[in-house]
Amino acid sequence: METYDALLAAITPASGETRTIFDPATGQPVGEAPVHTVQDLEAAIAAAAAAQPAWAALGHDARSAALLKAADAVERSAEELARLLSREQGKPLNGPNARFEVGACAAWLRVAAGTPLDPETVVDDGETRAELHYRPIGVVGAIGPWNWPMMITVWQLAPALRMGNAVVIKPSEYTPLSVLALVEILNQELPEGLLTAVAGGRDVGEALAGHPAIGKIMFTGSTATGKAIIRSSADTVKRLTLELGGNDAGIVLPDADPRAIAEGLFWGAFINTGQTCAALKRLYVHDAIYDAVCEELTNVAAAMPMGNGLDEANVLGPLQNRQQFDIVAALVDAARESGARILLGGNPESDQPGNFYPTTLVADIANSNPLVAEEQFGPALPIIRYRSVDEAVAMANALDVGLGASVWSSDPAEARKVAARLEAGTVWINKHGAVDPRIPFGGAKQSGYGLEFGVEGLKALGVPQVING
C-alpha cells in the first residue's frame, strides 16, 4: 500500500511538459499530469509488442493468477485511489461513487480472471471434429472517458490481459491522474511493458486509433468520436468495441408504486451526478400516477446532499468540467423558457466555487424538447407524461441511440413484455444502469457495437480460430 502523497509522487513526471489538473469542486490544483507525445505512444506500443508474446505463452491460468494479484494490489491502495479519484473527477467518496468505483475495479479484475473460456466443440460426428478457440489479438488500444475513468479502464484492460494481449491506454485529458495511478498500482503485479498509460491529447488518440501495430481499439465516449475511430481504423481493419453515447429511457407503467420506486429512479438517473452513459436520462410516466411519481421523486432528490467529494456526508458532487456544466445549464434554461415546470433545482449558485449544478427535476415537458431529445449527461431529469404504453414505447424508441432502458412495474411479467419492445442493448426491470461483470453489456443503434463483460466480453478480446480435423 502506498500513501496518497507517495502515489501522487509516483505518477508526477520528473521532467518534460506537464499540465495542472484542477479539482472540479474547489478549483484547487490536484497534481501535475504528463503531456505525452506521439513519440511516447510509439515507445509504449513497442514495449507492449515486445512483452505480449511471453504473456500470451503463460496461458489462461497464469494470467488469471496475475490479475487476481493485481486486484489485491488495488484493494491495498483503495483509499488512496478513491481520494485521488474524488479530487480529480469530483465524485464523492461515499454513495455509488469513488470508493464504489475502486471496489468495482477489483471486482471486474476478479471476474475477468475467474470466467472460464474453454474451447467449444462445434461438430463431432465421428467423421468431422471442429473446435472453436480464441487466440490473443496482440496489442489492444484502450481509449477511456472522464466520468468513470478507473472503472471503465478496467472494463477494457482486464479482459484484454486475460486473453493474452498487451494494452496501451489513452485516458481522458480531464482525468489522467486517476488512470495513471491505477496503472501504477496494477503494474506492481504485471510484467514490464505489458500495460502502459499514455496521457496525451487528441493527436495521441488519433495516432493510437490508426496505428498499424494495434489490433483492436476499445473506446467508451461520444458517438461523434466513435465514428471518427471507425473511419481511422479502416485502413488496418482493426477490431472495435465501441460503447458510445446514450440517452436512456425509463417507462413507469400505471401499476407501479410511486413511493417504492422513487429511490431506484433517483439513483438510476443521478448516479455519478448524472454523468453516466447508461443513466436514466428521460423518464416516461403514465398519466394516472404522474403527479405521485413527481412528488415522491422530488422528496428523495431533495434529501440527497451535494458538495465536495471529500466530505463524507455528500453523495452528489460537481460536474467534472465547465463545458459539461454549460451544456446542462443551457438545456435546463431552454426547458424553463419553453414552459416546462421546474420541480427542483434549476438555479445554480453563481458565487459558489466549483462546477456544482443542483439536482434538477423538470416536469410537464414536451418529448421534442432538447432536454429530452439530447443527452444532458448531468443532474437534470425530464419527466414526460404519457397516456398509453404504445405511446411511451414509441417515444422511447424514437431516438437514434439505444444503450440502456428500463421498465418500472409491480408486475414483472408485464414489464418484461414492454422491455422486449424497447430498442436498447440492455433493458432493466425496476432498476436502471445496474451493470454486472458477469452479464454482457453493449449498445444498439448509434450507441455502439460489440459486447463487454462475461464470456462474450472475453471472446471480444480474442481472435476466433477454428481447428478442423
**Predicted confidence band of residue 44 (pLDDT cuts 50, 70, 90):** very high
Residues ≥6 apart with Cβ < 8 Å to 223: 244, 245, 401, 446, 447, 448
182, 240, 245, 362 from 313: Cα distances, Å: 25, 41, 31, 26
For the stretch 145-185, pLDDT in tens is 999 999 999 999 999 999 999 999 999 999 999 999 999 99
What pLDDT, on a 0 to 100 scale, did the predictor assign at position 461? 98
pLDDT at 190: 98
| Active-site residue (options: 277, 296, 375, 423) | 277
The closest alpha carbon to 243, from 319, 145, 162, 174, belongs to 145
pLDDT of residue 350: 78
**What 3 state SS string does the chain have?**
CCCHHHHHHHHCCCCCCEEEEECCCCCCEEEEEECECHHHHHHHHHHHHHHHHHHHHCHHHHHHHHHHHHHHHHHHCHHHHHHHHHHHHCCCCCCCCHHHHHHHHHHHHHHHHHCCCCCEEEEECCCCEEEEEEEECCEEEEECCCCCHHHHHHHHHHHHHHCCCEEEEECCCCCHHHHHHHHHHHCCCCCCCCEEECCECHHHHHHHHHCCCCCEEEEECCHHHHHHHHHHHHHHCCEEEEECCCCEEEEECCCCCHHHHHHHHHHHHHHHHHCCCCCEEEEEEEHHHHHHHHHHHHHHHHCCCECCCCCCCCCECCCCCHHHHHHHHHHHHHHHHCCCEEEECCCCCCCCCCCCCCCEEEECCCCCCHHHHCCCCCCEEEEEEECCHHHHHHHHCCCCEECEEEEECCCHHHHHHHHCCCCCCEEEECCCCCCCCCCCECCEECCEECCECHHHHHHCCEEEEEEEC
Predicted pLDDT of residue 2: 76
What average pLDDT does range 127-143 have in this prediction? 98
Cell 460489440, residue located: 450
If pLDDT is split at 50, 70 and 90, which confidence band does 349 have?
A: confident
Distant-in-sequence, close-in-space partners of 116: CB < 8 Å, separation ≥ 6 = 455
**337-341: average pLDDT:** 97
Query: What are the tens digits of pLDDT across the range 202-229?
Result: 999 999 999 999 999 999 999 999 999 9
pLDDT at 55: 98
How many Cβ atoms from other residues are within 10 Å of residue 121's Cβ?
A: 10
What does the pLDDT look like over 72-109, one tens digit per residue? 999 999 999 999 999 999 999 999 999 999 999 999 99
Whole-number Cα distances in Å, 29 to 32, 94, 182: 8, 22, 20
Provide the β-strand partners of residue 29.
22
Average pLDDT (310-335) is 98
Cβ–Cβ contacts within 10 Å for residue 404, how many? Answer: 31
Taking a C-beta distance cutoff of 8 angstroms, is the pair 162, 113 a contact? Answer: yes
pLDDT of 288 higher than 90: yes
Give yes or no: 277 in active site: yes
pLDDT tens per residue across span 393-440: 999 999 999 999 999 999 999 999 999 999 999 999 999 999 999 999
pLDDT at 13 (0 to 100): 93
| Residue type at position 36 | H
pLDDT score of 454 more than 90: yes
The type of residue at 118 is: D
Confidence label for 113 from pLDDT (cuts 50, 70 and 90): very high
Q: Would you state the pLDDT for residue 352? A: 81
Q: Of the residues 88, 173, 243, 296, which is catalytic?
A: 243
In contact, 248 and 378? CB cutoff 8 Å: no
Beta pairing class for 120-124 and 129-136: antiparallel
For the chain, domains (ranges, CATH) are 4-244+447-468 (3.40.605.10), 248-429 (3.40.309.10)
Each residue of 351-364: pLDDT tens digit? 788 999 999 999 99
The set of residues, in sequence order, having a beta carbon less than 8 Å from that of 133 and lying 6+ positions away, is: 119, 464, 465, 466, 467
